Structure 1
Amino acid sequence: MSVVIMSRTKVRLDQVAKEIGDKTGQKVKVIVADFTKENVFSEIEDQLRDLDIGVLVNNVGMLPSYVPSRFLECAELEKTITKVINCNVKTLAKMCKIILPGMENRGRGVIVNVSSGVACIPFPLYTLYSASKVFVERFSQGLHAEYIDKGIIIQTVAPFGVSTRMAAYQQTNVVTLSPEDFVKSSLQYLRAGDKTHGSVCHAIMGWLLQSIPLKILHAESMLHNLRDYVKKKTALAASIAASPRATFENGRMK
Structure 2
Amino acid sequence: MKSLMEWFFTSLGTVVVIYYGVKLFLFSRMLLPKRWFPLPKSFFLSMGEWAVVTGASEGIGRQYAFALAEHGMNVVIMSRTKVNLDKVAREISETTHRMVKVVVADFTKDNIFTDIEEQLKYLDIGVLVNNVGMVPSTVPRRFLEEEDLDQIIMSVINCNVKTMVKMCKIILPGMENRRKGVILNIASGVASIPFPMYSLYAASKIFVERFSQGLQAEYKDKGVIIQAVAPFGVSTRMVGYQQINAFMLSPRDFVRSSLQYIRAGDKTYGSICHMFLGWLLLCIPLKILHTEAVFQGLQNYVERQQAEKRCSSVIRDA
* 2:173 paired residue number: 101
Q: How does 1:1-254 map to 2 (within 5 A)?
A: 1-244=73-316
Instruction: For 2:101 and 2:146, locate their aligned partners in 1 and report how far apart those are by CA, in whole Å.
Output: 36
Bigger Rg, structure 1 or 2: 2
The alpha carbon displacement at 1:91 in A equals 0.2
SS in 2 for 1:13: helix
The alpha carbon displacement at 1:196 in A equals 0.3
Instruction: For 1:16 and 1:239, locate their aligned partners in 2 and report how far apart those are by CA, in whole Å.
Output: 29
Instruction: For 1:239 and 1:86, locate their aligned partners in 2 and report how far apart those are by CA, in whole Å.
Output: 34
Instruction: For 2:116 and 2:265, locate their aligned partners in 1 and report how far apart those are by CA, in whole Å.
Output: 29
Number of aligned positions between the proteins: 246
Superposition CA RMSD, Å: 1.0
**Structure 1, gaps ≥5 residues long:** 247-254
The alpha carbon displacement at 1:244 in A equals 3.5
**Which AA in structure 2 matches 1:57?**
V
* 2:41 paired residue number: none
Instruction: For 1:131 and 1:173, locate their aligned partners in 2 and report how far apart those are by CA, in whole Å.
Output: 27
SS in 1 for 2:225: strand
The alpha carbon displacement at 1:167 in A equals 1.1
Instruction: For 2:313 and 2:81, locate their aligned partners in 1 and report how far apart those are by CA, in whole Å.
Output: 21
What TM-score, normalized by structure 2, do the two folds share? 0.76
SS in 2 for 1:188: helix
The alpha carbon displacement at 1:237 in A equals 1.4
Structure with more of its chain in helix, by fraction: 2
**Which AA in structure 1 matches 2:107?**
F
Deviations 1:57-96 (A, max 9, x none): 0000000000000000001100000000000000000000
The alpha carbon displacement at 1:203 in A equals 0.5
SS in 2 for 1:54: strand
Instruction: For 1:84 and 1:90, locate their aligned partners in 2 and report how far apart those are by CA, in whole Å.
Output: 9
Instruction: For 2:150 and 2:275, locate their aligned partners in 1 and report how far apart those are by CA, in whole Å.
Output: 34
**Which AA in structure 2 matches 1:43?**
D
SS in 2 for 1:235: helix
SS in 2 for 1:159: coil
The alpha carbon displacement at 1:181 in A equals 0.4
